[in-house]
Amino acid sequence: MTGAERGLLLLCAELGDGLKPLTPAQLRTLRARVLAREEGRFDPQAPVTAAELRALGYDGDFALRIAALLNREEALAAYLGVAAELGIRPLTRVSPDYPRRLRLLGELAPAVLFCRGNAALLNRPAVALVGSRELTPQGAAFARRVGELAAGEELVLVSGNARGADRTGQEACLEAGGAVIAVLPEGLRDHCPLNDRVLYLCLEGWHLPITPYRALARNRLIHALGEKTLAAQSRLRGGTWSGSEENLRRGWSPLFVNEAGGPGCEALIALGAVPLRLEKLDSLRALTPAQIPLTEMKNEE
């Protein structure tokens, strides 16, 4: 592990030591101030003093906080040691194998990830699946179809491991011999892959419980990791809706939605998502943003 990787872990990882890591905005500010110094960067392998941080314009309390984060090497070593015993390893934004597609998130790209399972899946072509927890029969059929097609076309299926569309698609993909990346809003302690066709991924710390912030950040990762994203079903609120609406605004991946996926999917189509009919869904690789327009589909009826 390089000094830069270790520095990001010290600043941004939850190590279970009671210290609050930097937020993404605080990390951006620190980076900008460090790079603006004539001397260049801090040496991540050297102790950092509060006096050096005050020279960057931080007040006493915040300077002490950053210095404390950077000087918790023993806590980091212990935390990573237990993780290694569990088969969990970290990825940081400066790691060479950090997922390329997550860089599409720009400043929203997580500084620290933890993974358990086959990390090589992050380098394979992938599609993402999102959807409601409570599915109609048509929504469930759509999610299963996406999982089966992903396996058949050798695409990794990225989803969130939640009840409903996520697990329906994941199970269908694995049963068909495919591979799955499950991005979790909680830690990895209770998620152990049974084979090398599964990777579990989480943010900030491998031991953490679910929080609204991590749930929101997880949704962004799912949309960004897929070269295209499919929504099986959606309400007009909740994680599927908010993640899909943000994806449409920011353009992380082309969004395709089940035409019969409920009011959320109808609203997403109005915002620019591409409508799909289950009976016409026979290839994921062939999907393009210039799919059949909704007006043309209505004219067929």
Whether residues 200 and 244 fall in one domain: yes
Whether residues 174 and 217 fall in one domain: yes
Whether residues 149 and 265 fall in one domain: yes
Whether residues 212 and 66 fall in one domain: no
pLDDT band at residue 39 under the 50/70/90 scheme: low
DSSP 253-283: S-EEEETTS-HHHHHHHHHTPEEE-GGG---
Task: Check if the beta carbon of residue 191 is closer than 8 Å to that of residue 88.
Answer: no
**Which of 66, 72, 65, 61 has the alpha carbon at shortest distance from 16?**
72
* pLDDT (tens digit per residue) in 119-165: 999 999 999 999 999 999 999 999 999 999 999 999 999 999 999 99
Whether residues 223 and 76 fall in one domain: no
Host domain of residue 195? 119-300
Whether residues 80 and 139 fall in one domain: no
Structurally, the chain folds into a number of domains equal to 2
The answer, as to whether pTM is greater than 0.75, is yes
In a domain, 96, yes or no: no
Whether residues 229 and 133 fall in one domain: yes
3-class DSSP assignment, residue 170:
helix
Q: What are the CA-CA distances from residue 299 to residues 58, 100, 292, 294 (Å)?
A: 62, 40, 11, 9
User: If you ran DSSP here, which 8-state letter would residue 187 be given?
Assistant: -
In a domain, 180, yes or no: yes
Whether residues 14 and 146 fall in one domain: no
Above 80 in pLDDT, residue 53?
no
Q: What CATH number is given to the structural domain containing 214?
A: 3.40.50.450
Give residue for tokens 């209770």. 190
Among residues 62, 85, 108, the one where a domain terminates is: 85
In a domain, 97, yes or no: no
For residues 212 and 231, which has the higher predicted lDDT (pLDDT)? 231
Give residue for tokens 């035409």. 259
Whether residues 73 and 193 fall in one domain: no
Q: Which helix (H) or strand (E) holds 126?
A: strand 126-130
Whether residues 65 and 140 fall in one domain: no
